[in-house]
Structure 1
Amino acid sequence: MNDALLALLLKVDTPTVCNAIEVAQGKRGFDAFTRGTVIASAPSAPPLVGYARTAKIAAAVPSTEDPDVIRTRRRDYYRHMAGGGSPAIAVIEDLDFPHCVGAFWGEINATVHRGLGLKGVLTNGVMRDLGDVPADFPMIAGSVGPSHAFVHVEAIDVPVTIFGMPVMPGDLVHADRHGAVVVPPEVIPVLAASIAKLQTTERLILEPARQEGFDLAKFEEAWALFEAART
């Protein structure tokens, strides 16, 4: 992903990226996106765009592992988050889903991850401290709660699943208040052109619909052009 594509992806929402992937593939049926409703800590913030640094956590019950093992894995977790390509986002699967109880994401962890260079987090788990987290570190989560419970890291740099969306370490992810999508690697070189084509096509119906005097006849005329142009 070059700088121009990154700048573009930071300006468009996740539904646009989903549609543009279909344009790039020349068909419908792309399904590497989240299911269900997410909660955004900053709904009006720009989208999260970056390569996934992944981990799995749990919080409902205490870990039965040796405390030294837990502490070592926690250190390894932060080393993992601090390394790798840029831009990067944390993509964290809470293994307690759909009954997540412990917030791994709050003022401290958000501030630490931001300091390590990450752009934000996508998780199916819990977030908290919504008035105190850095404004430029968006969190997209499954729920909001007050406690960290028994939260601990279970696995690092592994495939994860977020709201039904499989994510591999290093996948390019685009996420916002609508949910998230994994961009297929083969689409990346043509994604900017596909977004431009999509936006041009959508204007065929949007511009007439916004004009004074729009009626059924003008809709049918515009829709025919729109249908002919889109995937």
Structure 2
Amino acid sequence: MSTFPFTAADLEVLKQWDTPTICNGLELIVPERRAVGFTAEPMVAVDRKFPPIVGLARTGLVRAKESPRGPIPAREDWYDYVSPSGIPTIAVIQDIDDRPGFGAFWGEVQTTIHKALGVAGCVTNGSFRDLDMLAPGFQIIGGRIGPSHAHIHMVQMKCDANIFGMLVHHDDVIHADFHGAAVIPADAVKKLPAAIDLVSRREKVILDMAKTKGFNSHMLRDALRRSGEIH
């Protein structure tokens, strides 16, 4: 069994912030990752009002335009793989068709099964359907909405997945909401609350000044200087 430098409670704490705020914190903790580790295309959420999902990545590759070309992973094996054991999981599925989302893996049946298994949600470049029949509260951050599942099938599981430029490995920590998704390095999880607090305090100086009557560029210069002095 894998061990992690964080607990399920640590991941639960991160649900209070949206994904852009998580990215802000990561810019302080791991500045070398400033241009990697997040989705870089617009995505579609089942419901923008759902809270962020946070969990360990359970990765897979799917395709739908053609029938399977050879042996494929059994669905039962996938369900065993995604089932959480102490720490929440998120299904991260890359559609490798030349037109991702041609057929939908996600719909009424799959969301119901995954939610019942305890999976927190899904991040995919593929499509989803059955909008009025999806499992209540199950969040999908996907590439698009489509009507058919076509020949959808799993090609590989527990593998690297690339979701709109975000490279994901098995057991990566994923944070996602309607803005998109980001990978959180394991050793950054516990550092994020303090980093986010620092960013928020720096921003507050500027935001408060910008809301002041008579705000001008000279006042902005002062606010920028003061925000930089917050450590």
TM over 0.5: yes
Cα shift readout 1:84-128 (whole Å, capped 9, x = no counterpart) = 452111111111154430010111101110000001000010011
| Structure 1 residue aligned with 2:122 | 121
Q: CA deviation at 1:7?
A: 3.4
- Deviation larger for 182-191 or 10-19: 182-191
- Deviation larger for 15-24 or 216-225: 216-225
Q: CA deviation at 1:20?
A: 0.3
Distance 2:50 2:14 in 1: 13
Q: How does 1:170-181 map to 2 (within 5 A)?
A: 170-181=171-182
Distance 2:126 2:137 in 1: 20
SS at match of 2:67: coil
Distance 1:221 1:8 in 2: 34
Normalised by the length of structure 2, the TM-score is 0.90
| Structure 1 residue aligned with 2:195 | 194
Distance 2:100 2:93 in 1: 15
SS at match of 2:198: helix
Residue type at the aligned position of 1:151:
I
Distance 1:35 1:78 in 2: 28
SS at match of 1:10: helix
Q: How does 1:80-119 map to 2 (within 5 A)?
A: 80-96=81-97, 98-119=99-120
Distance 2:116 2:53 in 1: 16
Q: Is the 8 Å Cα contact of residues 88 and 118 (structure 1) preserved in structure 2?
A: yes
- Match status 1:18 vs 2:18: no
Q: Percent identity?
A: 37
Cα shift readout 1:48-100 (whole Å, capped 9, x = no counterpart) = 111011111110111133xxx44x62221111122545211111111115443
Q: Is the 8 Å Cα contact of residues 90 and 120 (structure 2) preserved in structure 1?
A: yes
- Deviation larger for 151-160 or 98-107: 98-107
- Match status 1:54 vs 2:55: no
Q: How does 1:106-185 map to 2 (within 5 A)?
A: 106-185=107-186
Q: Runs ≥4 in structure 1, deviation > 4 angstroms?
A: 227-230
- Deviation larger for 116-125 or 158-167: 158-167
* Paired residues, number: 226
SS at match of 2:181: strand
Residue type at the aligned position of 1:35:
A
Distance 2:228 2:213 in 1: 22
Q: CA deviation at 1:189?
A: 2.9
Distance 1:79 1:94 in 2: 21
Where in structure 2 are there 5+ consecutive unaligned residues?
Answer: 1-5
Residue type at the aligned position of 2:45:
A
Q: Is the 8 Å Cα contact of residues 101 and 146 (structure 2) preserved in structure 1?
A: no
Q: 2:50 aligns with which of 45, 65, 72?
A: 45
Distance 1:2 1:78, change over 3 A: closer
Q: Is the 8 Å Cα contact of residues 11 and 189 (structure 2) preserved in structure 1?
A: no
Distance 2:185 2:121 in 1: 21
SS at match of 2:77: helix
Normalised by the length of structure 1, the TM-score is 0.90
Q: CA deviation at 1:224?
A: 2.4
Q: Is the 8 Å Cα contact of residues 8 and 88 (structure 2) preserved in structure 1?
A: no
SS at match of 2:191: helix
| Structure 1 residue aligned with 2:227 | 226
